[in-house]
Amino acid sequence: MNSFDDLLNNTPAGGQNGQQLSKEEYSAKKQAEREEVFELSDNTALEVAGDGGKFKQYLDVQSTFDRYSAVNALLIMAQKPEATRVADFDTWKSKGGSIRGGQTGIAIVEPHPYQKEDGSPGVGYNIKKVFDISQIDTRRMSKPKSAPAHTERQLLQALISKASVKITGVETLPGNLGAQTNPETGEISVRKGMEFAETFSCVAQELAAADLRTGPDTQRDADFSAYSAAYLLCKKYGVDTEPFAFEDAPSVFEGLDAQEVKGELSQIRDVADDISGRMARHLDKAARNAEAR
C-alpha cells in the first residue's frame, strides 16, 4: 500500500501556519516594500547620474514609457530595461492575455491622495506590480493598432506649431550653430538648409531650453537638460539620435544626492512631455482635418 502521509503537511495560502497578518503587521510589510522599492530607485538614479552610458539607457527607457514618471522609468530600467509595453495583471487579463508561468512582476510606485490628521491633503505611494508584454501569453489578444505614420514635414510642423516663442529661419549662425536663442527677445533663429534630423533636434533643444527658463524651478544645467529633452523627443518620433552623446552627465550631476538627481530627471521628462503633448494635439487635429476633406 502506498503511503501518502508525507503529503499531509502544507503551508496554508493565508500565511505561515494559516495566521493572517494583523493590521500593524500588514502595514509594516507594506512599508518595508515601499522602502525597498524607493531604495532601488535611489540607487539607480545615482548609477544613471554617474555614467553617461547609463544615463542614455535611462533616457531610452523613459522615451519608451513617456507617460510614466522618472521614478518609474528608473524602476523599469533597474528590473527589466528591455521592456516595451507594461500593464498590470487585470489590464492584461481584460485584453485576453495571461501571465506566463514563473514570471516576476516589475515593481513601480502608484501615488494615491489622502487626508492627513490635520485635514490637509497628502500623497502616499503604493507598490504596483506590472508585467512586460514579453511575459504575457498573447495568443488570445487582438493585435494593437499601429501608430499613424507621419512625414518629416508633418513632424517638424507639429514641433514648431504654437510654440511659446517665435522661430525664424536664417542663412547663417555664429560658429555654424544649428539654432540659437536671442537672450533679449527669446526668438529662436534656425539655420536653413539642414537635414530634417538636425533641424528637428536643434529646434527641440531650443524649445526645451525656453520652457526650462520659464519653469518654476531652476535646472542645475539647463543646456544639458534641454539637450536630454530633445533626445527624448527624437526617440519618441523616430528621429535619428546617433549624434547625441552624454559623456558629460557625471559632471552635470556631480554632488547631487539621489533625490536631487530624480528631481532633475523629472524636469527633463516633464519638459519633453509638454512639447510632445502639443505636437500630438497638432498631429491629431491635422489627421482629423485630412479625414474630413
Most confident of 28-32, 108-112, 219-223: 108-112
Torsion (CA) 98, 70, 151, 196 in degrees, nearest 10 = -140
As given in the structure block, the three cell numbers for residue 278 are 502639443
% of the chain residues with pLDDT over 70: 91
Q: Does residue 73 register a pLDDT over 90?
A: yes
pLDDT value of residue 2: 59
CB-facing half-sphere around the CA of 155: CA atoms within 13 A: 20
Q: Does residue 55 register a pLDDT over 80?
A: yes
CA distance 238 to 256: 32
% of the chain residues with pLDDT over 90: 75
pTM, whole model, 2 decimals?
Answer: 0.88
Query: CA distances (Å), 220 to each of 226, 274, 275, in order?
Result: 11, 20, 21
| Mean pLDDT, rounded, of the chain | 91
Mean pLDDT, residues 119-134 taken together: 92
Determine contact, residues 208/232, Cβ cutoff 8 Å: no
Q: Does residue 212 register a pLDDT over 60?
A: yes
Element containing residue 29 per DSSP (H, E):
helix 23-49
